[in-house]
C-alpha cells in the first residue's frame, strides 16, 4: 500500500523504528525498509523519507529483528571504514562495497609488508556498524548483488547481531526468498535460532511471508522445530 510512496518521518522510537506519515496515514517502519531522499525544512522540519522498500507496515510492538540505527540514513560518513561498508550495503551500492573492501585489502597488504601505509586501517567484511554487519543489512533489504560481493570477500553468514539474528533471519524478516536461497547456497544454517529460539521459518510464518516460507521448505529446513 505504501510501496514507492514518499512520507515524512514523525518520530524515531527507542528501538529505532520510524513513525512515518504517508498519504495522511501514520505507519511504523523498520529503518531498513525506507530510503532517505533528502532533509529539508517544512512540515515541521521533519526529514523526508521514501517507503521505497516497504511492502507493508510493521508494528513496533511486534518487531523482532533489530533495526540499523538512524545513522544509516545520514549522508555524512565519519571515515570509519566499517560504517561506510554497512551503509553502502544497506543502500544496495555493490560497487561502493567492492571499492571499500578492495581498499581494505590494499591497506592490509601494506601493513603486512611494513610499507608506508602500514597505519591505514581498512574495513572488516564482517565489521559491525549500528549493531549489524553489511551482510545482515543487505540481506534484509534484498540486495543480491551486494550479498554476492560480500560473499566473494568471505563474509560470515553465521554472525549474530545482539538479538541472535543471523543474515538468514534478516532475509526472512525482509521477505526476501531469493536472499534465503543465496545464503543457503553459501552454507547458512537455515535452522539456526535467535535468542528467542526463533528460526527463519518461524519469522517467515509469523510475518506471513509466504515466499520465504516456501523457499525455506524447498531448501530443506526443519519444518517442525518448536
Does residue 45 fall inside a structural domain?
A: no
Q: Tens digit of pLDDT for each residue in 104-147?
A: 665 555 555 555 544 445 689 999 998 999 999 999 999 999 99
199 and 90, same structural domain?
A: yes
Provide the total of helices (H) and of strands (E) in the chain, helices listed first.
Answer: 8, 7
Q: Is residue 148 situated within a structural domain? A: yes
Q: Does one domain contain both 17 and 97?
A: no
Is residue 3 a part of any domain in this protein? Answer: yes
Cβ atoms of residues 137 and 128 within 8 Å? no
pLDDT category at 45 given cuts 50, 70, 90 is very low
Residues 204 and 146 both lie in one domain: yes
In this prediction, residues 68-72 reach a mean pLDDT of: 42
Number of domains, the chain: 2
CA distance linking residue 200 with residue 205, whole number of Å = 9
Domain CATH code at residue 200: 1.25.40.20
How many Å apart are CA 114 and CA 111, to the nearest integer? 5
Highest mean pLDDT, choosing among 33-42, 113-122, 208-217? 208-217
Per-residue pLDDT, 14: 65
> Does residue 144 sit within a domain?
yes
Phi-psi region of 79 (alpha: psi -120 to 50; beta: other; left: phi over 0): left
104 and 181, same structural domain?
Answer: yes
Name 210's Cβ contacts closer than 8 Å, sequence gap at least 6: none
Q: Do residues 132 and 215 share a domain?
A: yes
Q: Are 52 and 32 in contact (CB under 8 A)?
A: no
Instruction: Choose among 201, 199, 223, 221: nearest CA to 212.
Output: 201
Instruction: Give the chain's mean pLDDT.
Output: 78
The arithmetic mean of pLDDT across residues 196-225, rounded, is: 94
The domain containing residue 5 runs over which residues? 1-31
Please tell me whether residues 113 and 193 are part of one structural domain.
yes
Amino acid at each position: 500500500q505504501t510501496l514507492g510512496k514518499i512520507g515524512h518521518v514523525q518520530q524515531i522510537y527507542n528501538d529505532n523504528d520510524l513513525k512515518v506519515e504517508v498519504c495522511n496515514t501514520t505507519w511504523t517502519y523498520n529503518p531498513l525498509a525506507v530510503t532517505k531522499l533528502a532533509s529539508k525544512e517544512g512540515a515541521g522540519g521533519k526529514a523526508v523519507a521514501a517507503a521505497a522498500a516497504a511492502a507493508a507496515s510493521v508494528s513496533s510492538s511486534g518487531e523482532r529483528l533489530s533495526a540499523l540505527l538512524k545513522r544509516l540514513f545520514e549522508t555524512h560518513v565519519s571515515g570509519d571504514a566499517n560504517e561506510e561498508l554497512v551503509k553502502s550495503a544497506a543502500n544496495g551500492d555493490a560497487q561502493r562495497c567492492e571499492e571499500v573492501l578492495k581498499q581494505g585489502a590494499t591497506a592490509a597488504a601494506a601493513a603486512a609488508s611494513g610499507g608506508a601505509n602500514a597505519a591505514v586501517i581498512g574495513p572488516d567484511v564482517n565489521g559491525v556498524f549500528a549493531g549489524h554487519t553489511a551482510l545482515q543489512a543487505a540481506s534484509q533489504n534484498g540486495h543480491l548483488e551486494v550479498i554476492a560481493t560480500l560473499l566473494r570477500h568471505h563474509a560470515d553468514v553465521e554472525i549474530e547481531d545482539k538479538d541472535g539474528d543471523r543474515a538468514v533471519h534478516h532475509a526472512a524478516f525482509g521477505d526476501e526468498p531469493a536472499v534465503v536461497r543465496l545464503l543457503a547456497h553459501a552454507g547458512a544454517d537455515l535452522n539456526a535460532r535467535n535468542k528467542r529460539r526463533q528460526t527463519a521459518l518461524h519469522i517467515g510464518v509469523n510475518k506471513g511471508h509466504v515466499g520465504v516460507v516456501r523457499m525455506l521448505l524447498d531448501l530443506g529446513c526443519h519444518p517442525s522445530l518448536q
